[in-house]
Amino acid sequence: MTEVDAIVAGAGLWGCAAARILAEKGRAVLVLERRPHVGGNVRCDTDPETGIELHAYGSHIFHTHIDRVWDFVRRFAEFNGYQHKVLARHAGKTYFLPLGLALVNQFYGLDMAPSELPAFIAAEAAKGFAGGRAPANFEEQAISSIGKPLYDAFIREYTRKQWGTDPCNLGADIVKRLPVRASYDINYFPDYRQGIPLAGYNSLFDRMLDHPKITVECNVDWAARRSEFPHGVPVFYSGPVDELFGYKFGPLPWRSLRFEQERMPLADFQGTSVVNYVDADVPYTRIHEFKHYHPENAAVMASRQTIVCREYPRAWKPGDEPYYPVDTAESRELLALYQAEAANVPNLVLGGRLGEYKYYDMDRSVDRAMEATSRF
């Protein structure tokens, strides 16, 4: 590439979408990725024995209600229409998530109709959280939404494991991701447009970056090479914002993950893609069984082998892979310092879950990439 009109640092979903949009505007884009591959945490591997697509960094299901995002990603991949189902194991029993009629009736031993559930949940919530003020944290928001018995059983200890802190220390906004519905609909996401790319996630990224105006270099850390590029070239950065500035104000609190895969001589281990383990005495938060993501693949489904992956949340320290931003009052104050620092850097655009320190779903990352590139 003889010219560079824009640099994209980080080839995750946000970075790949941004690169493609900029290239289609006629910009010469250089994508720099410090891993040996593109795709970020959505990267997958294919097991050579079974053909199972293994989500290397935990399960990723694309789902959206945003028209322009769906139209964009379908230019690069055909989706299989997979509808995500999640189960929860609590006290030796298996429940259907999300929190809806199936779970609530089973948990309480009732047989409520859809019209009865809202009043029942409201009464349970009123018992656990007195009104008069807005919920101040995750725990209060959850109890005010679903009541204390459901919170204690399915949310409290899972959240403590996931985030490594007392739920009272977390922001109330995180609870808004918790789906609750007064029906027997056990689809985890309410978006009817969802699925997994038929040709696999890796093909989605490869096709997104397949443009004559895009050059990709892997095993390259932009921060180490930033002095090589002329001033004034816009940089779209999706790495950790605190790392970008050398942790000068101290590291932001992140959560990391550890994955433990196991091959089993079974056609089916758990009957669904994801089972959450919500109790404190189980060290992992969930088990993924990847073959269920491609029910259209007869050979994969017929295999007498399966591969599962246990997911263990763990504390993060500099040098570890950051996965989840931890939303607390203290982290918001620290983030504001880094955002102010970034605002002083001309033509620097922060994006994605790491760059913005926001817990984005995949579709929202694409949407944010569209917003970030709109003025260039």
Q: Report the pLDDT value the prediction gives residue 209, as an integer from 0 to 100.
A: 98
> Is the per-residue pLDDT at 175 higher than 50?
yes
What is the C-alpha separation between 279 and 360, in angstroms, rounded?
26
Per-residue confidence band for 1, with pLDDT thresholds at 50, 70 and 90? very low
Q: Report the pLDDT value the prediction gives residue 179, as an integer from 0 to 100.
A: 66
Of 286, 353, 364, 368, which is the active-site residue?
A: 286
The pTM (predicted TM-score) of the whole model is 0.93
Output the six-digit token pair for 52: 């199972």
Active-site residue, 237 included: no
Active-site residue, 181 included: yes
CA dihedral 241→244→247→253, nearest 10 degrees, is 30
For residue 39, give the nearest of 86, 84, 77 by alpha carbon: 77
Active-site residue, 35 included: no
pLDDT digits (tens, 9 = 90+) for 193-223: 999 999 999 999 999 999 999 999 999 988 8
Active-site residue, 286 included: yes
Looking at 1-5, 165-169, 239-243, 297-301, which range is the least confident one? Answer: 1-5
Tell me, what DSSP letter sits at residue 234? -
> Is the per-residue pLDDT at 158 higher than 70?
yes
Residue 212: helix, strand or coil by DSSP? coil
- Report the b/e string of 5-31 with b at 16+ CB within 10 A: bbbbbbbbbbbbbbbbbbbeeebbbbb
Per-residue confidence band for 116, with pLDDT thresholds at 50, 70 and 90? very high
Angle at CA of residue 315, ends 310 and 320, nearest 5°: 90
Question: What are the C-alpha distances in Å from 315 to residues 158, 160, 165?
Answer: 15, 12, 10
Partners of 79 in the β-ladder:
197
Active-site residue, 296 included: no
Active-site residue, 284 included: no
> Is the per-residue pLDDT at 166 higher than 50?
yes
Of 177, 228, 281, 375, which is the active-site residue?
A: 177
| Mean pLDDT score, 136-151 | 91
Percent of the chain at pLDDT exceeding 70 = 98
Contact call for residues 197 and 203 (beta carbons, < 8 A): yes
Residue 204: helix, strand or coil by DSSP? helix
Q: Report the pLDDT value the prediction gives residue 200, as an integer from 0 to 100.
A: 96
Q: Report the pLDDT value the prediction gives residue 128, as an integer from 0 to 100.
A: 82
> Is the per-residue pLDDT at 327 higher than 90?
no
pLDDT digits (tens, 9 = 90+) for 34-46: 999 999 999 999 9
Per-residue confidence band for 123, with pLDDT thresholds at 50, 70 and 90? very high
Active-site residue, 157 included: no
β-pairing, 53-55 with 44-46?
A: antiparallel
| Mean pLDDT score, 360-376 | 96
Q: Chain-centre distance of CA 184, in angstroms?
A: 25
What stretches of the chain show up as alpha helix (H) in DSSP?
A: 13-24, 67-73, 101-108, 117-128, 138-146, 148-150, 156-163, 201-208, 222-225, 241-244, 298-302, 329-343, 352-355, 362-373
> How crowded is residue 247: how many other Cβ atoms within 10 Å of its Cβ?
13
Chain mean pLDDT for the chain: 93
Of 53, 191, 311, 363, which is the active-site residue?
A: 311
| Mean pLDDT score, 87-105 | 96
Of 57, 284, 312, 359, which is the active-site residue?
A: 359
Tell me, what DSSP letter sits at residue 185? -
Of 43, 255, 364, 368, which is the active-site residue?
A: 255
Tell me, what DSSP letter sits at residue 218? E
Of 181, 207, 226, 310, which is the active-site residue?
A: 181
pLDDT digits (tens, 9 = 90+) for 241-283: 999 999 999 999 999 999 999 999 999 999 999 999 999 999 9
